[in-house]
Structure 1
């Protein structure tokens, strides 16, 4: 019996618990939708500018890179496994959320585990770890309840999230020290090379599935495009812009994210307005090609990491850091 046969049997066995969960009272649905949103890498990436501009840039950068690494490895794993979601294979499962990508492993579980785990590791207290574990558990439950993941999907996502978290915690200091020793041109070149390597990995993983089409048994899924590389391209662009922007910002001296509440709100409003304008042009006015997505998201990340802080300092909304390299 092959790997796919074993997974098919496992998925069939997991349908019962999903159907049972979906019989819970209707008031549970909005609660689960809210909890589910807390596990997305999108949620973290939307919150990071606030943390970066107004609270703690070092924490924001660490958290952002952790979530991007989790999201990138998750996107590649989905392409490699080519596994369905529950409502794709059984019409009895209600699609309380609609997803077009493959199901294994759960991105919410993986990004949530890596993200809140990183926050818990930085806090250093046992209560933070318990809170992180509880939140991840709720996110996993919500994904199964919504009919978009099997239990095995979320378990695999959590395990991969733990692997990402352990790698980040172990390698962050030596990799950061090595990165800072490189010349700026080398850092920028590495930023581009790493992001393009991510896209190349996605294309390479997809190559053996050329000509593949969803099985007829997946008809409840409706119109899906699970082999689309857009998510990989988006994450690659974000990675390139984040690494390049942080590298240049380190060279010019970083900034102080403190200040009166009104000043911090002004930063967030101005920074978000510009980022939204770039996003609007990219999504609404330009053709949705891979090059546009990559360049657009790289530009948004570069704005968050570098452009916005420089503008804030020039407008008097932010102060330079007291010493070069203040962000550790």
Structure 2
């Protein structure tokens, strides 16, 4: 890793220069940075799923989840620091516990915004996505949490994931829908556990690893922790299993009046918050509790909420739009 160490040292000066910009830039950078997070997409997706187009939301969600999960595993495989971990001159405007390479914001933003641009299929959409991703990358370097090389690698990996997702989306969907429900549920569990296995294997070459003394600026960190991957694994299980169940139950139509759509969003969000609160009080802390919590919460979004909305008369079930049933399990 000597080459990377030398590269990181060379990249410190540009970060120091960026952070010398006027303080008025900081809130703008912090706001822009949010656009590249998996949390941003995952918070927006229930609204899209319940109130606009469930099929679109499901496919976008799986694309973002693929980017986030692969990024978490690759961070563990690379074991690389963040700028402020190795140089006290760099101010951390955001405290991060995970490794730095590749940048998750850059990778997830590239996949999420790129997927939307590919779906819109207009030049302005591609230009808009490119500009936003560029700003997200700049913000991560400015905030002191990524080297320039981190965001470059993140964008490149994001492009690779985006191309793979767009290429495999249709054949995988067709294959998945052709399987029995028990096969879909079993495959959901296997893929979820496989993600955990990949993360554990990524840490194997670093057996006995401890935080280097030169990373003293990082403070108390545990970058080898698997919490992020466990979260993604739970969401993956809930997404695939929930979508498969909902599809077998007849799917649903996210159309309707503005009042009905607003009612779905309010009720769905309130119940999700209640579920999260109860889970925090009931489930044990640690890997198992986190995994179960996110799986259950995602199942609520995918299947529990639509069934409740149908029962309450806020949503029509079993509808098809344009002759093609919306959504699917991939």
Give the alignment's TM-score, normalised by structure 1: 0.97
**Residues 172-201 of structure 1, C-alpha deviations (whole Å, 9 max, x = no match):** 000000001100000000000000000011
In 1: Cα distance, 2:275 partner to 2:315 partner:
22
In 1: Cα distance, 2:279 partner to 2:126 partner:
39
In 1: Cα distance, 2:114 partner to 2:318 partner:
28
In 2: Cα distance, 1:282 partner to 1:322 partner:
33
Unmatched 5+ stretches in structure 1:
none
Could you say what secondary structure the match of 1:58 adopts?
Answer: helix
In 2: Cα distance, 1:325 partner to 1:236 partner:
30
Q: Please, what is the CA RMSD of the aligned residues? A: 1.1
In 1: Cα distance, 2:244 partner to 2:318 partner:
15
The residue that corresponds to 2:325 in the other structure is 326
Q: Is the 8 A contact 1:195 1:237 kept in 2?
A: yes
How far apart are residue 325 of structure 1 and its match?
6.2
**Residues 86-117 of structure 1, C-alpha deviations (whole Å, 9 max, x = no match):** 00000000111110100000000000000000
In 2: Cα distance, 1:79 partner to 1:195 partner:
17
- Count of aligned pairs: 325
Q: Is the 8 A contact 1:240 1:298 kept in 2?
A: yes
Q: Where do 1:1-328 residues align within 5 Å?
A: 4-323=1-320, 326-328=325-327
Could you say what secondary structure the match of 2:221 adopts?
Answer: coil
How far apart are residue 73 of structure 1 and its match?
0.4
Unmatched 5+ stretches in structure 2:
none
In 2: Cα distance, 1:288 partner to 1:72 partner:
21
Q: Is the 8 A contact 2:283 2:293 kept in 1?
A: no
Q: Is the 8 A contact 1:196 1:236 kept in 2?
A: yes
Could you say what secondary structure the match of 2:113 adopts?
Answer: helix
**Residues 189-231 of structure 1, C-alpha deviations (whole Å, 9 max, x = no match):** 0000000000011111112222211100000000001000010
Could you say what secondary structure the match of 2:161 adopts?
Answer: helix
How far apart are residue 24 of structure 1 and its match?
0.5
In 2: Cα distance, 1:20 partner to 1:160 partner:
27
In 1: Cα distance, 2:324 partner to 2:277 partner:
34
Could you say what secondary structure the match of 1:213 adopts?
Answer: coil
In 1: Cα distance, 2:282 partner to 2:34 partner:
28
**Residues 102-133 of structure 1, C-alpha deviations (whole Å, 9 max, x = no match):** 00000000000000000000001011000000
How far apart are residue 287 of structure 1 and its match?
2.4
How far apart are residue 285 of structure 1 and its match?
4.3
Could you say what secondary structure the match of 1:173 adopts?
Answer: helix
How far apart are residue 298 of structure 1 and its match?
0.5
Give the alignment's TM-score, normalised by structure 2: 0.97
- Higher deviation after alignment, 314-323 or 294-303: 314-323
**Residues 222-278 of structure 1, C-alpha deviations (whole Å, 9 max, x = no match):** 000100001001000000000001111111111111111111111111111111112
